[in-house]
């Protein structure tokens, strides 16, 4: 049973992110629609490198998969990675 089934966006709910390695690097974890694929991939690779040493890596990845997070790099997974795992096809 997913742990994040009944989401309540409170400070306590998000407290697991307080020690995340991505804090201060948020610009690498989300891409703008107008960014080229090359620029997007470069940012995603940099984000994944930060994720690799993150103390909340597993929690972040689980959260993204269980909540079907659509955007950004979470737990070392890109949007495309999560779509592939879920059996969906990315359309944009």
State yes or no: 22 annotated in a binding site.
yes
State yes or no: 34 annotated in a binding site.
no
Enumerate residues 6+ apart whose C-beta is below 8 A from 91. Answer: none
State yes or no: 72 annotated in a binding site.
no
State yes or no: 86 annotated in a binding site.
no
How far, in Å, are 24, 71, 80, 88, 91 from residue 85 at the CA level?
A: 28, 14, 9, 8, 15
Q: Which residues are annotated as a binding site for [4Fe-4S] cluster?
A: 22, 51, 54, 60
Q: Which residues are annotated as a binding site?
A: 22, 51, 54, 60
């Amino acid at each position: 049973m997913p742990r994040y089934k009944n989401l309540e966006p409170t400070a306590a709910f998000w407290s697991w992110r307080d020690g995340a390695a991505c804090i201060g690097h948020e610009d690498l974890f989300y891409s703008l629609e107008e960014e080229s694929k090359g620029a997007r991939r470069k940012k995603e690779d940099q984000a994944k490198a930060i994720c690799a040493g993150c103390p909340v890596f597993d929690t972040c990845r689980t959260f993204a998969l269980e909540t079907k997070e659509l955007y950004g790099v979470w737990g070392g997974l890109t949007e495309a990675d999560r779509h592939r795992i879920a059996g969906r096809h990315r359309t944009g």
